[in-house]
Chains A and B, each alone.
Chain A
Amino acid sequence: MSHRPDKEYEQLRVSGLHAFYGESHILHGIDLVVNRGELVTLLGRNGAGRSTTLKAIMNMVGRRTGSIMINGEETMSCAPHHIARLGVGYCPEHRGIFSALNVQENLTLPPVVRSGGMSLEEIYSMFPNLYERRFSQGTKLSGGEQQMLAMARILRTGANMLLLDEITEGLAPVIVEKLAEVLIKLKNKGLTIVLVEQNFHFAAPLADRHYVVEHGQIVEEISADELEAKQSLLNDYLGV
């Protein structure tokens, strides 16, 4: 199934995006489109600019040029808290669990940005471990539990586009499996997901499309049904 962007609702359109950290020029003109309800991955090697792309969408890098449209609205001049309020949920690399807050405080920290988010009860039934440990210090949880918490945190807010950065990094296979189940559920709910992922075997069966990022640019776009044909090309890019 190939998506035709012009026929669907464009939730995110990034055009000619450049980003800088101080003097270093990280993104060199990223162009990508994500439609509502799609799960799109950004693949590439470490340092290719995938995480920076997510951060740039959130306006969390130094300087940016180009254009980022969310729901058809230009956001280059928006502060990060305005971007979140357009329905964007950001799950940072290394999870960003606050050690000064307990699990429940971490979970309820992000304000509700849209209606239709999951209730605390729904979240606890999806992640029973979090309920059991709701009064523990956030950073006392295991890595897997912290990742569940980082995901659960943005599901409560009603965000309908999730930017997920390396959510499987360093986690046991059984946890990774659980995360895949969660992503499938979220996709079935119609959420739009942009996934930065190192673990291609995790991402491949879930995603509708893949963008390959290299040296701060998109070098290849591969839809799910082209994956088999382009596997060797992709392996070259990823260096596997």
Chain B
Amino acid sequence: MSMIFGVPLAVLAGQLLIGVINGAFYALLSLGLAVIFGLLKIINFAHGAMYMLGAMSTVILFDSLGVNYWVALFLAPLLVGAVGVVIEYFLLRRIAGQDHIYSLLLTFGVALLLGGVLTNIYGVSGLRYAMPDVFQGGMKLGFMFLPYYRLWVIVMALLVCFGTWFMIEKTKLGAYLRAGTEDSQLMQGFGINVPLLISLTYGFGVMLAAFAGVLAAPIYSVTPVMGSHILITVFAVVVIGGMGSIGGAIITGILMGVIEGLTKTFYPPASSAVIFLVMVVVLMFRPSGLFGKEA
């Protein structure tokens, strides 16, 4: 068995794969946060809860209505996106223009409420969601075994991330989003319905989180608290990448997943702290993040 720095290649490759998969989730989640922060200037603490809702609704839709994975892949994000639009319209809009701390506390409260209600109904031990049959098994790559579903997660996350990046950077709708990030009042003065754009952007941002939730359902433990665990890490990723940077969120997400995976291989005790260590270093030397614009 070949070794790299005293670690068997298969072990290293396995941890790298887990790192890339975790990174794919970080990328999807931090992308949504970046999109929301860009236009709404809201630090969306409900983002983890939206991820959780995506995963929970996938399980619940299957258990109660028999909705299969493929339908859930579209339906769950749409449902959660609609929840997001409702939250924006009835809650966030009322505190628009106030200090960041208000929206942070409000979205944190929403997250606690959703988590609390679902914990009361379903408990915290976790729901089981069966892997769709097509994804059973995997392929042998010689140096490692790659489960099909893991490959699917990586491909889907990359597709959605790239699609979102393309939409924002290269299309007319994306031009509205980019311009709105700079001066939404002037945009509205040009005749663009900015309040609607804001609702839809928030809805889209949380849809990305819910989509990550559906992808997570077959491989992670689906519980009402799953969002709060990942959220803190994702915030660190966003800070490292630079608040509001779309491309930065994607690249940093995957990079941090890989760094976490490598740390697990070479020095496991530090694996859950390494991202925060990177965050501290980045904040010291580049306070606006790796891809953020200098203030």
Hey, which bits of chain A sit against chain B, CB under 8 A?
58, 60, 79-81, 83-85, 90, 92, 96, 98-101, 105, 108-111, 113, 153-154, 157
Are B182 and A84 neighbours in the complex by a CB distance under 8 Å?
Answer: no
The 8 Å CB contact of A85, one of B172, B175, B182, B191, is: B191
Are A157 and B179 neighbours in the complex by a CB distance under 8 Å?
Answer: no
Are B192 and A98 neighbours in the complex by a CB distance under 8 Å?
Answer: no
Decide: A100 near B188, CB < 8 A? Known: A79-B195, A81-B194.
no
Are B175 and A80 neighbours in the complex by a CB distance under 8 Å?
Answer: no
- Neighbouring A residues of B172 by C-beta, 8 Å: 108
Sample 27 A-B pairs with CB under 8 A, ordered by A number. A60-B185, A80-B185, A80-B189, A81-B188, A81-B193, A84-B189, A84-B190, A84-B191, A85-B191, A90-B186, A90-B189, A92-B189, A96-B183, A98-B178, A100-B178, A100-B179, A100-B181, A101-B179, A105-B175, A109-B176, A109-B179, A109-B190, A110-B190, A110-B191, A113-B191, A153-B190, A157-B190
- Neighbouring A residues of B191 by C-beta, 8 Å: 81, 84-85, 110-111, 113, 157
Which residue of chain B lies nearest to A153 when distances are taken between CB atoms in the complex? B190
Are A111 and B190 neighbours in the complex by a CB distance under 8 Å?
Answer: yes
The complex places the Cα of A92 from the Cα of B188 at a distance, in Å, of 13
Interface membership of chain B positions 156-169, coded 1 if the CB is closer than 8 angstroms to chain A and 0 otherwise: 00000000000000
Hey, which bits of chain B sit against chain A, CB under 8 A?
172, 175-176, 178-179, 181-183, 185-195
Are B175 and A101 neighbours in the complex by a CB distance under 8 Å?
Answer: yes
- Neighbouring A residues of B188 by C-beta, 8 Å: 79-81, 84
Q: How far is the CB of A70 from chain B (nearest CB, A)?
A: 13
- Neighbouring A residues of B194 by C-beta, 8 Å: 81
The complex places the Cα of A192 from the Cα of B207 at a distance, in Å, of 45
- Neighbouring A residues of B189 by C-beta, 8 Å: 58, 60, 80-81, 83-84, 90, 92
The 8 Å CB contact of B192, one of A81, A96, A105, is: A81
Count A-B pairs with CB separation below 8 Å: 59
- Neighbouring B residues of A101 by C-beta, 8 Å: 175, 178-179
Are A98 and B185 neighbours in the complex by a CB distance under 8 Å?
Answer: no
Q: How far is the CB of A62 from chain B (nearest CB, A)?
A: 11
Are A111 and B195 neighbours in the complex by a CB distance under 8 Å?
Answer: no
The complex places the Cα of A203 from the Cα of B189 at a distance, in Å, of 25
Which residue of chain A lies nearest to B186 when distances are taken between CB atoms in the complex? A96
Which residue of chain A lies nearest to B197 when distances are taken between CB atoms in the complex? A81
- Neighbouring A residues of B186 by C-beta, 8 Å: 90, 92, 96
Q: How far is the CB of A26 from chain B (nearest CB, A)?
A: 17
Are A109 and B193 neighbours in the complex by a CB distance under 8 Å?
Answer: no
Which residue of chain A lies nearest to B178 when distances are taken between CB atoms in the complex? A100
The complex places the Cα of A85 from the Cα of B193 at a distance, in Å, of 10
Which residue of chain A lies nearest to B188 when distances are taken between CB atoms in the complex? A80
- Neighbouring B residues of A58 by C-beta, 8 Å: 189
- Neighbouring B residues of A154 by C-beta, 8 Å: 190
The complex places the Cα of A108 from the Cα of B178 at a distance, in Å, of 14
Which residue of chain B lies nearest to A55 when distances are taken between CB atoms in the complex? B189
Decide: A100 near B182, CB < 8 A? Known: A105-B175, A108-B172.
yes
Decide: A109 near B175, CB < 8 A? Known: A81-B191, A81-B193, A157-B191.
yes
- Neighbouring B residues of A109 by C-beta, 8 Å: 175-176, 179, 187, 190
Which residue of chain B lies nearest to A98 when distances are taken between CB atoms in the complex? B179
Q: 19 additional contacts, CB 8 Å, given A100-B179, A101-B178, A154-B190?
A: A58-B189, A60-B185, A79-B188, A81-B188, A81-B192, A84-B188, A84-B191, A90-B186, A96-B183, A96-B186, A98-B178, A98-B182, A100-B181, A105-B175, A108-B175, A109-B175, A109-B179, A113-B191, A157-B190
Q: How far is the CB of B191 from chain A (nearest CB, A)?
A: 3
Point out which of B183, B190, B193 has the most chain A C-beta atoms below 10 A from its C-beta. Answer: B190
Point out which of A58, A60, A81, A111 has the most chain B C-beta atoms below 10 A from its C-beta. Answer: A81
Which residue of chain B lies nearest to A99 when distances are taken between CB atoms in the complex? B182
The complex places the Cα of A96 from the Cα of B175 at a distance, in Å, of 15
Are B183 and A98 neighbours in the complex by a CB distance under 8 Å?
Answer: yes
Which residue of chain B lies nearest to A110 when distances are taken between CB atoms in the complex? B190
Which residue of chain B lies nearest to A154 when distances are taken between CB atoms in the complex? B190
Q: How far is the CB of A12 from chain B (nearest CB, A)?
A: 16
- Neighbouring B residues of A105 by C-beta, 8 Å: 175
Which residue of chain B lies nearest to A83 when distances are taken between CB atoms in the complex? B189
The complex places the Cα of A215 from the Cα of B195 at a distance, in Å, of 33
- Neighbouring B residues of A84 by C-beta, 8 Å: 188-191
Q: How far is the CB of B78 from chain A (nearest CB, A)?
A: 26
Q: How far is the CB of A115 from chain B (nearest CB, A)?
A: 14
- Neighbouring A residues of B178 by C-beta, 8 Å: 98, 100-101
Which residue of chain B lies nearest to A106 when distances are taken between CB atoms in the complex? B179
The complex places the Cα of A60 from the Cα of B187 at a distance, in Å, of 11
The complex places the Cα of A133 from the Cα of B21 at a distance, in Å, of 42
The complex places the Cα of A105 from the Cα of B179 at a distance, in Å, of 10
Q: How far is the CB of A213 from chain B (nearest CB, A)?
A: 21
- Neighbouring B residues of A111 by C-beta, 8 Å: 190-192
